[in-house]
Amino acid sequence: MLISSVINIGAVWLASKIGQRFKAVALLPILVGLTGMLYVLAITKLPLIYMIIYLLADGLYAFFLPIFNNDLQVMIPSDVRATMLSVTAMFFSLFMIVIFPMTGFLIDWLGFSLTFLLLGIVLMLLAPLLILKRNDLK
């Protein structure tokens, strides 16, 4: 837990530096691809690799979240900001209500390593699509 906290603190510090130069929409495809690559490492079935995957994926999330929240707050007018941030949090929770049990089912059905290998492949395939979508928005 101490290592995770140190990684998260470092990630938030790095986010404060990088978030000034890049928007969340530019970083999201990169972070999705990196997370996918981490998940693919689960095929090794080594407990040490599982811990590394967890620590780095958690660090990537801790890195992205402040950048995303800052960009979101800049885009939303102050008179509706609290409501919109609550709606965003609600959608995140609803998404997790679906994803967590589905991931658990896949782990029961396919096993931990294969499930995370497949999730990693899906994320790595999703990253280029996010880049294309981002370029369409420009």
The token pair that represents 1 in the structure block = 């837990």
**How is the chain split into domains, by residue range?**
2-137
Which fold does the domain 2-137 belong to in CATH? Growth Hormone; Chain: A; (1.20.1250)
Q: Which position has the higher pLDDT, 78 or 12?
A: 12
CA angle 102, 85, 4 (to 5 degrees): 60
pLDDT digits (tens, 9 = 90+) for 18-76: 989 999 999 999 999 999 999 999 999 999 999 999 999 999 999 999 999 999 888 88
pTM of the model: 0.87
What does the alpha-carbon distance between residue 103 and residue 99 come to, in Å, rounded to a whole number?
6
The token pair that represents 60 in the structure block = 């990537």
pLDDT digits (tens, 9 = 90+) for 73-92: 888 888 888 888 899 899 99
DSSP state letters, 25-69: HHHHHHHHHHHHHHHHGGGG--HHHHHHHHHHHHHHHHHHHHHHH
For residue 72, what pLDDT is reported?
87
The yes-or-no verdict on residue 137 having pLDDT over 80 is no
What does the alpha-carbon distance between residue 39 and residue 134 come to, in Å, rounded to a whole number?
24
